[in-house]
């Protein structure tokens, strides 16, 4: 099971990272590592920071709309997502995130503004790790192995905190009209601590792969809150 989880994670990682067919959402991909950043462009290709900021805001808001739909339809729940209509919604969300992910990454090559670059990197990292986390299992298939059962229970607890953090950031605050930043941050931080503890206590569990992926997402979400909601 662990090897299958690693293989699946590798395929899904490349599915999101491959830009060569970003406009054909129905294709499958087979690579693990992120696509390396393109070499920096000559100075003549540098674009004014104000223009890039406006482009980034448009791309960011489109991506956030996709994340809103993810929580609106409760697609973090696998049985709900596997319904035919919801699977189509999820595929459209992933396609939108991939397209905006690569568009923002390309913006990095148009500026030497370190503050802008940091915002591009933190936001795309959050999108990337969100996608990987969204493909993780959240339902245990057997209770025969007590070691894995205990690991799953810890994993599931962390996953609930992580979903609550994401739901507050990308869904609830928009419906409510104000952001409970401290609550969202504490949820993300608690999820991070729980996943770290799970890897320490149950390092050989079949849930270790999912736990590491969720940990990466929790950390990227925390960094996103720290940078984008600092004021």
Q: What is the pLDDT of residues 40-50, one digit of tens each?
A: 555 447 889 99
pTM of the model: 0.85
Report how far apart, in Å, the C-alpha atoms of 201 and of each of 148, 189, 194, 206 are.
11, 18, 10, 13
**Does residue 169 surpass a pLDDT of 70?**
yes
Q: Which class for 142: exposed (0-12), middle (13-18), buried (19 or more C-beta within 10 A)? A: exposed
Q: Where are the domains of the chain?
A: 2-10+44-228
Taking a C-beta distance cutoff of 8 angstroms, is the pair 108, 47 a contact? Answer: no
Q: What confidence tens digit (pLDDT) does each residue in 84-120 have? A: 999 999 999 999 999 999 999 999 999 999 999 999 9
Average pLDDT of the chain to the nearest whole number:
88
Distances (CA, A) of 216 to 43, 188, 191, 199: 34, 11, 11, 12
| Least trusted range by pLDDT, from 45-49, 181-185, 217-221 | 45-49
């Amino acid at each position: 099971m662990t090897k299958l989880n690693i293989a699946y994670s590798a395929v899904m990682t490349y599915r999101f990272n491959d830009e060569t067919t970003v406009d054909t959402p129905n294709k499958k991909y087979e690579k693990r590592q992120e696509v390396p950043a393109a070499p920096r462009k000559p100075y003549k290709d540098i674009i004014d920071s104000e223009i890039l900021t406006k482009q980034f805001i448009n791309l960011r808001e489109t991506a956030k709309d996709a994340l809103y739909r993810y929580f609106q339809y409760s697609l973090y729940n696998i049985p709900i997502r596997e319904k035919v209509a919801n699977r189509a919604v999820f595929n459209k969300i992933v396609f939108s995130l991939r397209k905006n992910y690569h568009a923002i990454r390309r913006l990095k090559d148009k500026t030497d503004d370190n503050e802008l670059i940091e915002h591009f990197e933190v936001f795309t990292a959050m999108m990337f790790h969100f996608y990987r986390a969204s493909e993780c299992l959240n339902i245990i298939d057997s209770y025969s192995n007590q070691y894995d059962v205990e690991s799953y229970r810890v994993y599931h607890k962390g996953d609930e905190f992580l979903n609550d953090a994401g739901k507050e950031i990308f869904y609830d605050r928009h419906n409510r009209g104000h952001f409970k930043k401290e609550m969202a941050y504490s949820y993300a931080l608690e999820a991070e601590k729980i996943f770290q503890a799970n890897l320490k206590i149950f390092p050989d569990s079949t849930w270790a792969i999912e736990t590491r992926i969720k940990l990466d997402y929790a950390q990227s979400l925390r960094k996103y809150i720290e940078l984008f909601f600092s004021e």
